[in-house]
Amino acid sequence: MTEIPVLFLDFDGVLHPVGEPALDEHCRLIENPGLFIWRPIPEALLTPYPAVRIIVSSNWRRLFDDATLIRLLGRLGNRFVGVVESYGACRSEEILMDVRRRKIIHWLAIDDHPSVVRAQAEEHRFIAWDSARDLNDEVVRRTLRVTLSAFPGTLAT
């Protein structure tokens, strides 16, 4: 079992608005200033918690290799420890399967996927919201801070 706290992170609807053009007709990443515009918010929220690592749960994990994902994460890239390697019927199931496979004790997932929204009712470590909002939303920020500060070894510096 791993004591390292982990954040499962989605991209679309979390780090930038849903529907931002990202790929060309050859499935190559395009230059779009609208992509990752909300990334500074989780960067700031995670700064006091250097022990927290990131596992990408976004569907982007199926399109890009680890090096590209690390680059796309910007300053969060140094926290990257992998991608969700489980494939299930829905995102919340994939995350839960990965938690069990990796034997992660302390985790949370930020996602706007409908399955995560539903799963939040039974599992408080799923943090879901309407993708029309962003991480600037005070309720989301407060929930993240409370959850992160409760993890052992993540006392704010």
- Among 52-56, 57-61, 123-127, the minimum mean pLDDT is found in 123-127
pLDDT digits (tens, 9 = 90+) for 99-156: 999 999 999 999 988 899 899 889 989 987 666 665 566 777 787 888 888 877 655 4
Look up the domain containing 126 and give its range: 6-150
The answer to whether position 104 is within a domain reads yes
How many domains is the chain built from? 1
The answer to whether position 157 is within a domain reads no
- CB 15 within 8 Å of CB 36: yes
Average pLDDT of the segment spanning 23-36:
92
Percentage of the chain beyond pLDDT 90 is 55
pLDDT of residue 154: 56
pLDDT of residue 157: 45
Q: What is the pTM of this model?
A: 0.90
- CB 122 within 8 Å of CB 95: no
3-class secondary-structure state, position 96: helix
- CB 107 within 8 Å of CB 89: no
Place of tokens 């690592």: 53
pLDDT digits (tens, 9 = 90+) for 81-97: 999 998 888 999 999 99
The answer to whether position 139 is within a domain reads yes
Query: What CATH number is associated with residue 39?
Result: 3.40.50.1000
pLDDT reading at 12 higher than 80: yes
Report the mean per-residue pLDDT for the chain: 88
Spell out the residues 6+ positions from residue 122 whose beta carbon is closer than 8 angstroms to its own.
none
The answer to whether position 122 is within a domain reads yes
C-alpha distances out from residue 40 to 35, 75, 114, 126, 132, Å: 12, 8, 24, 21, 17
CA gap 62, 56 in Å, rounded: 10
